Amino acid sequence: MIFAVENGCFSFKENRVLSDISFSVSSGQVMSVLGPNGVGKTTLLRCMMGFLKWDSGATRIDGRELQTMRYGEIWKKIAYVPQSKNSYLSFTAEEMVLMGRTAHLRTFAQPTAEDKKMALRSMEQVGIARLRFKKCNELSGGELQMVLIARALCASPELLVLDEPESNLDFKNQLIVLETIAKLSKESGIAAIVNTHYPAHALKLSDIALILTHSGTSYYGPTEKIVSEVNMRDAFDVRVLIHDVLFENRVLKNVIPISVTAKA
């Protein structure tokens, strides 16, 4: 698939939040979205998926404008993983994952045996089958995040959209989430758009990146070119050092924050 936004603009009342945003992501690619707090990263996700309406511009899936597509068509192609919150009452992990099949069911239809098999398969795919009968409100933050990813996978999507999937997780669970997204992209050909606060994660995970700034400008292109010392300073008002680290015959990118820069 090719998922694209063309010249997207959006305002809250008189306040322009997003200006002339354009990007595309294809099957097997991961795109990171970065930017400081309040710049409109989650708003971008909501606009591009049709939860909010663009003032101008368009979202297209394989050339078709999103607004011309039926609800069921859209959500068979896209799965959304929101920021995890422990507010899922008494659903079990398996019941939560099974909800991912909703777009594939007729109105009032019940999940079939095959749907339940797909739910278990999705949980196995991300390594959480052991949690299937555990209540969601009893899960850790990392466990719940993986349940939400499994729910998205259960929809058999072509594109995963993830809003800060690694936030509020410890080092181990952050790595599990990042490695799961990378595995799905490489092995299953799923495209992914990941909203993240971590430039090092973007460099580790993504093929392309989009940086939003408070000035209204944006940077889009190959991650190693876009997540640069100059662009990070412009977007975040932070001076950083980005350098290569050689580890076990692999070159890794490290991002070190140095200081807050003075505003002009």
Q: Where are the domains of the chain?
A: 2-260
Q: Count how many Cα atoms sit within 13 Å of the Cα of residue 144 in the half-sphere of its side chain.
A: 20
Q: Spell 105-141 as b/e; 16+ CB within 10 A means b.
A: eeeeeebeeebeebbbebbebbebeebbeeebeebee
To the nearest whole number, what is the mean pLDDT of the chain?
A: 90
Under 8 Å between Cβ of 50 and 67: yes
- The continuous run of DSSP H or E covering 253 comes out as strand 250-260
- 24-49 pLDDT tens trace: 999 999 999 999 999 999 999 999 99
Report CA 212 to chain centroid distance, whole Å: 15
Q: What is the pTM of this model?
A: 0.91
- Written as one string, the DSSP assignment of 141-178 is HHHHHHHHHHHHHHT--SEEEEESTTTT--HHHHHHHH
Q: What is the fold, at CATH topology level, of the domain defined by 2-260?
A: Rossmann fold (3.40.50)
- 121-159 pLDDT tens trace: 999 988 899 999 999 888 888 888 889 999 998 888 999
